[in-house]
């Protein structure tokens, strides 16, 4: 019954009884239980057809809050949201994931507690924590698994460390999976098949298929940054192989190539700044990175047949040059049937994709049927 009310539409007891097929007395008892938990609240009177108008009830998303955490190689974005993923407070900071779990998670715990207070809520209102990490994660345990850019993080009990600080369940996933979930829920809820591609220091993808996030057998689905491309045959990658698309089309790789041509660039932020300033060499480099990435995505389109490819991440902020390169190759190399209605677009949620996805992941956990039964049982 509660899952019906999650859409926010006010309903009367009679309407709930009709939809669920349960007795009015059962509906009344369960409404009382949900109201005592704060998850459901009265929503005014329904229209009357004679006599006293019936009271309606609706989901109360403000009853609790969640903490959403998006960690990248060099950035952190935190947000406190209500149970409908409405952002109540947020902050961004520069960090280094290579500083290790003690330093980074300690900072996250302190900053998260401050942000909950900034949102005007006590920590007892915190229902859950959702987090995205820039590396492979075993979703069932929330532990990073051999993350290439996260020294000291392998098999660390991230949920255990944070739940001890917050006394709340902690959900952890790969950052691009979380971004895909955030973009899908916020911008494309009616699209069943979507591929979210993050182009930043590294490159990765999150896959929405049949309306649900797909992680693969070991949680490694979407690791497209380490697919080989011919243009990078001899270029070493941080994963230990050569020829990975990330080694030529990632933000740091583009910056390195620009630095070799005499431009002042060390990372993706510098690349974006050069493109926005009108630098022709930087614009051409980003467009070529799009073409290199497009060769990988063309194969992905043939395999997965998404309706929408959303390109996000730091380098996507360079504008249309990256997208133009991707489109050029994908539409040329993929079969017409797969691209007939395919849209390739930039992220609508921008830098909020990660925290919106982390919020949705945390909310789905605490508002699942099993969790609600435990709360009101």
pLDDT per position as a tens digit, 346-372 = 999 999 999 999 999 999 999 999 999
- pLDDT at residue number 311: 98
Which of 59, 82, 99 is at the close of a domain?
59
Strand duo 65-71 + 126-133: pairing: parallel
* 340 has a pLDDT exceeding 60: yes
- Local confidence band at 45 (pLDDT 50, 70, 90 cut-offs): confident
Number of domains forming the structure of the chain: 3
Residues 335 and 361 in one domain: no
Report the distance separating Cα 84 and Cα 65, nearest Å.
9
Residues 307 and 317 in one domain: yes
Residues 190 and 72 in one domain: no
Residues 298 and 308 in one domain: yes
Of the candidates 88, 89, 60, 82, the residue with the CA atom closest to the CA atom of residue 127: 82
pLDDT per position as a tens digit, 9-40 = 999 999 999 999 999 899 999 999 999 999 99
Mean pLDDT, rounded, for 3-14: 90
- Local confidence band at 50 (pLDDT 50, 70, 90 cut-offs): low
Domain of residue 244, residue span = 180-349
* 51 has a pLDDT exceeding 60: no
- pLDDT at residue number 98: 94
Residues 338 and 215 in one domain: yes
* 84 has a pLDDT exceeding 90: yes
Residues 134 and 41 in one domain: no
- Local confidence band at 219 (pLDDT 50, 70, 90 cut-offs): confident
Q: Tell me the CATH number at 45.
A: 1.10.10.10
Residues 80 and 119 in one domain: yes
Mean pLDDT of the chain: 93
Q: Tell me the CATH number at 112.
A: 3.30.420.40
Report the distance separating Cα 247 and Cα 253, nearest Å.
6
- pLDDT at residue number 262: 96
Q: Are 81 and 134 in contact (CB under 8 A)?
A: no
Residues 190 and 306 in one domain: yes
Which of 22, 44, 59 is at the close of a domain?
59
Mean pLDDT, rounded, for 109-130: 97
Residues 212 and 159 in one domain: no
Q: Are 241 and 228 in contact (CB under 8 A)?
A: yes
* 102 has a pLDDT exceeding 60: yes
- DSSP of 32-86: HHHHHHTSEEEEEEPPPSSSSPPEEEEE-GGG-EEEEEEE-SSEEEEEEEETT--
- DSSP of 299-311: HHHHHH--SEEEE
Report the distance separating Cα 237 and Cα 47, nearest Å.
65
Place of tokens 């994963």: 239
Residues 198 and 315 in one domain: yes
Residues 134 and 249 in one domain: no
- pLDDT at residue number 91: 96
pLDDT per position as a tens digit, 287-334 = 999 999 999 999 999 999 999 999 999 999 998 999 999 999 999 999
* 245 has a pLDDT exceeding 70: yes
């Amino acid at each position: 019954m509660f899952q019906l009310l999650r859409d926010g539409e006010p309903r009367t007891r009679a309407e709930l009884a009709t939809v669920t097929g349960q007795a009015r007395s059962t509906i009344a008892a369960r409404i009382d239980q949900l109201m005592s938990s704060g998850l459901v609240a009265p929503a005014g009177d329904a229209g009357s057809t004679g006599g006293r108008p019936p009271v309606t009830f609706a989901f109360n998303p403000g009853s609790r809050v969640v903490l959403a955490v998006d960690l990248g190689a060099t950035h952190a974005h935190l947000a406190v949201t209500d149970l409908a993923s409405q952002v109540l407070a947020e902050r961004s900071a520069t960090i280094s994931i290579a500083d290790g779990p003690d330093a980074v998670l300690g900072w996250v715990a302190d900053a998260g507690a401050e942000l909950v207070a900034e949102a005007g809520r006590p920590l007892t209102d915190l229902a859950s924590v959702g987090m995205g990490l820039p590396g492979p994660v075993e979703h069932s345990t929330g532990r990073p698994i051999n993350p290439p850019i996260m020294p000291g993080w392998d098999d660390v009990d991230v949920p255990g460390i944070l739940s001890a600080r917050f006394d709340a369940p902690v959900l952890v996933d790969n950052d691009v999976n979380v971004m895909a979930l955030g973009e899908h829920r916020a911008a494309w809820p009616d699209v069943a098949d979507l591929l979210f591609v993050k182009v930043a220091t590294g490159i990765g993808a999150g896959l929405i298929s049949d309306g649900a996030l797909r992680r693969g057998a070991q949680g490694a689905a979407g690791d497209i940054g380490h697919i080989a491309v011919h243009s990078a045959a001899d270029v070493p990658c941080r994963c230990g192989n050569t020829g990975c698309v990330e080694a030529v089309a990632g933000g740091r790789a583009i910056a390195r190539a620009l630095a070799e041509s005499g431009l002042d660039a060390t990372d993706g932020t510098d690349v974006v700044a050069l493109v926005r300033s009108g630098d022709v060499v930087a614009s051409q480099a980003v467009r070529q990175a799009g073409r290199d990435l497009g060769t990988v995505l063309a194969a992905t389109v043939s395999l997965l047949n998404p309706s929408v490819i959303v390109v996000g991440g730091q380098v996507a902020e360079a504008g249309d040059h990256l997208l133009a390169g991707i489109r050029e190759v994908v539409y040329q190399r993929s079969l017409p049937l797969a691209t007939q209605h395919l849209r390739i677009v930039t992220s609508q949620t921008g830098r909020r994709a990660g925290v919106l996805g982390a919020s949705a992941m945390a909310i789905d956990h605490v508002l699942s049927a099993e969790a609600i039964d435990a709360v009101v049982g």
